[in-house]
């Protein structure tokens, strides 16, 4: 019953908030520095997660604050403890467009290294269950946690299943944003472990697209040193900030957020209607021809620093693979159709083949545009 009520509440909250979200004059991003106060997070060899996460978060914010079209909200700007519930509440109250949690990783194996970005969801295996437990376990440090998170046990994989019901509408956008982050990490010469899905409470409780970024392993001596260095933190901050700007520009345009919500005036509507006097069959033919010539949807499967031959056996049996390269990063795409419905079918097939982080992209006259603009 708890999960059913929770899902219904979040669904209603999303509907109620939709108008306010879409009509904000600036793009709002909440930066959430993981842990804090008496919750140190992971700590190895003198490298403390809460300090590194805060340092990177503040650097990301400093970059973004130079953009007048972006408003930055912090869940914490100093060494204080903030509950998971309050972190999500801050994002929801601000009606943010994006929620970005910044953390560091750790593993008993000191050789483990690399960055990874998580989106809300239930993975096919329990390989990353330890990550879920680690990031959710901060719940136990809160007063009255049994009342606040009724029925939720971070140590029980069965109770995490309920979280996968949330944020289905936001998942595609979250994956797209997460992929941009990981692409940028590669550009910054940082190891990438890819985009992954896990049931994380703080992402579940927020009602906008969001990610949790593991910026590296403090348990790895070399990577820990890099995470604690000014240069290493700046590289990660640049990658994250650039991804946020890229996401904003792709999904909300380069102008104000509400510039994409312009309404046609009654006068313009009358003018448009007066011009629609063509025979219906002729009009359909012209529109169909124009769409097929100018708009093309593809499925982006992955991005890698390694160049791979475009053969079905290299892409889990998928045919019609294409590639685009940018600064020694190779982006592999599947399919190609002017029909959005067909493109969604292609996306479903790609995901069924194991490309869980795949997402749709669009081109107009050979130039990449946002899917939203393509649909318009």
CATH number of the domain where residue 240 is located: 3.40.630.40
Q: Can you read off the two tokens belonging to residue 304? A: 């890698």
The set of residues, in sequence order, having a beta carbon less than 8 Å from that of 269 and lying 6+ positions away, is: none
Task: Output the tens digit of pLDDT for each of the chain's 376 residues.
Answer: 433 344 334 433 443 343 334 445 789 999 999 999 999 999 999 999 999 999 999 999 999 999 999 999 999 999 999 988 889 889 988 989 999 999 999 999 999 999 999 987 644 334 344 444 454 454 445 555 444 444 445 455 444 434 444 445 577 788 889 999 999 999 999 999 999 887 776 676 777 889 999 999 999 999 999 999 999 999 999 999 999 999 998 888 776 654 443 333 333 434 433 433 333 344 344 444 444 457 899 998 887 778 889 998 989 999 999 998 876 678 899 999 988 888 888 988 988 888 877 888 888 888 888 776 777 6
Question: What DSSP string runs through 225-280?
Answer: HHHTSHHHHHHHHHHHHHHHHHHHHHHH-SS-GGGGG----HHHHHHHHHH--S-H
Which residue, 207, 236, 251, sits at the end of a domain?
Answer: 251
Q: Which of 300, 352, 346 is nearest to 323 (CA)?
A: 300
C-alpha span between 44 and 106 (Å, rounded): 8
**Cβ contact 187:239 at 8 Å:** yes
Q: Is 95 within a domain?
A: yes
Q: How far apart are CA 277 and CA 275, in angstroms?
A: 6
Q: Tell me: do 107 and 211 sit in the same domain.
A: yes
Distance CA 239, CA 227 (A): 14
pTM for this structure? 0.58
Q: What is the pLDDT of residue 233?
A: 98
At 326 the pLDDT is 72
The CATH number of residue 355's host domain is 3.30.70.1070
- Judged by phi (left if over 0) then psi (alpha if -120 to 50, else beta), residue 318 lies in beta
Check whether residue 291 and residue 213 sit in a common domain. Answer: no
Structure token pair of residue 355: 């490309």
Domains of the chain: total: 2
174 occurs within a structural domain: yes
Closest by Cα among 242, 212, 260 to 66 = 242
One domain, residues 349 and 240: no
> How much is the pLDDT for 240?
97
If asked whether residues 325 and 215 sit together in one domain, one would say: no
Are residues 309 and 179 both part of a single domain?
no
Strands 295-304 vs 367-369: parallel, antiparallel or unpaired? unpaired
Same domain, 299 and 175: no
Got the DSSP string for 273-312? HHH--S-HHHHHHHHHHHHHHHEEEEEEEEEESS-----G
| Residues linked to residue 192 through DSSP beta bridges, in sequence order | 115
Q: Do 6 and 148 sit in the same domain of this protein?
A: yes
What's residue 257's pLDDT?
57
Instruction: Judge if 213 and 307 occupy the same domain.
Output: no
Give the pair of three-digit tokens for residue 360: 């749709």
- 195 and 330 fall within a common domain: no
The domain containing residue 297 runs over which residues?
281-375
Tell me: do 13 and 118 sit in the same domain: yes
Q: Where are the alpha helices (DSSP H) in 78-152?
A: 84-93, 129-136, 145-148
- E strand intervals along the chain: 27-33, 43-44, 47-48, 70-74, 98-105, 115-120, 192-198, 210-217, 295-304, 321-326, 329-337, 359-364, 367-369
Q: Is residue 259 part of a domain?
A: no
Structure confidence at residue 253 (pLDDT):
76
How many C-beta atoms surround the C-beta of residue 124 within 10 A? 9
Greatest alpha-carbon span in the chain: 75
* Structural domain includes residue 258: no
Evaluate whether residue 340 is within a structural domain: yes
The pLDDT value recorded for residue 376 is 65
Q: What is the pLDDT of residue 274?
A: 42
Q: How far apart are CA 33 and CA 56, in angstroms?
A: 8
Q: Are residues 140 and 182 in the same domain?
A: yes
Whether 120 is in a domain gets the answer: yes
Q: In which residue are the tokens 């309920």 written?
A: 162
Residue 89 included in any domain: yes
Answer yes or no: do 55 and 135 share one domain: yes
Q: State which of 200, 232, 251 marks the end of a domain.
A: 251
The set of residues, in sequence order, having a beta carbon less than 8 Å from that of 130 and lying 6+ positions away, is none
Q: What is the pLDDT of residue 255?
A: 67
What the block records as the tokens of 210 is 């969001």
CA neighbor of 89 nearest in space, from 11, 9, 205: 205
Q: Which residue has the tokens 């240069």?
A: 231
- Residue 226 within any structural domain of the chain: yes
């Amino acid at each position: 019953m708890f999960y059913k009520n929770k899902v219904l509440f979040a669904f209603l909250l999303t509907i109620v908030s939709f108008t306010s979200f879409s009509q904000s004059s600036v793009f709002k991003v909440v930066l959430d520095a993981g842990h804090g106060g008496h919750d140190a997070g992971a700590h190895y060899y003198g490298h403390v997660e809460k300090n590194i996460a805060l340092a990177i978060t503040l650097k990301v914010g400093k970059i973004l604050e130079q953009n007048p079209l972006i408003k930055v909200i912090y869940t914490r700007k100093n060494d204080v403890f903030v509950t998971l519930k309050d972190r999500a509440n801050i994002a929801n109250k601000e009606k943010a467009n994006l929620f970005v949690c910044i953390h560091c990783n750790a593993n008993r194996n000191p050789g483990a290294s690399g960055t990874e970005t998580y989106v809300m969801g239930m993975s096919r295996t329990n390989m990353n269950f330890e990550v879920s437990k680690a990031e959710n376990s901060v719940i136990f440090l809160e007063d009255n946690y049994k009342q606040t998170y009724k029925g939720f046990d971070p140590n029980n994989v069965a109770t995490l299943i309920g979280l996968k019901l949330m944020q289905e509408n936001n998942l595609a956008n979250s994956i797209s944003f997460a992929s941009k982050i990981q692409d940028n990490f590669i550009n910054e010469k940082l190891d990438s472990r890819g985009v992954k899905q896990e049931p994380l409470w703080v992402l579940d409780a927020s009602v906008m697209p969001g990610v949790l970024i593991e910026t590296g392993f403090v348990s790895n001596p070399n990577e820990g040193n890099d995470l604690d260095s000014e240069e290493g933190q700046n590289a990660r901050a640049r990658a994250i900030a650039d991804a946020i700007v890229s996401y904003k520009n792709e999904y909300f345009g380069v102008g104000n957020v509400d510039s994409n919500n312009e309404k046609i005036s009654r006068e313009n509507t009358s003018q448009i209607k007066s011009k629609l006097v063509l025979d219906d069959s002729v009009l359909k033919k012209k529109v169909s021809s124009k769409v097929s010539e100018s708009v093309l949807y593809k499925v982006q499967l992955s991005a890698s620093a390694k160049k791979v031959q475009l053969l079905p056996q290299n892409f889990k049996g998928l045919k019609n693979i294409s590639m685009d390269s940018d600064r020694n990063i190779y982006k592999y795409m599947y399919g190609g159709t002017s029909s959005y419905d067909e493109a969604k079918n292609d996306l479903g097939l790609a995901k069924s083949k194991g490309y869980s982080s795949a997402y749709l992209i669009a081109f107009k006259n050979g130039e990449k545009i946002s899917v939203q603009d393509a649909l318009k």
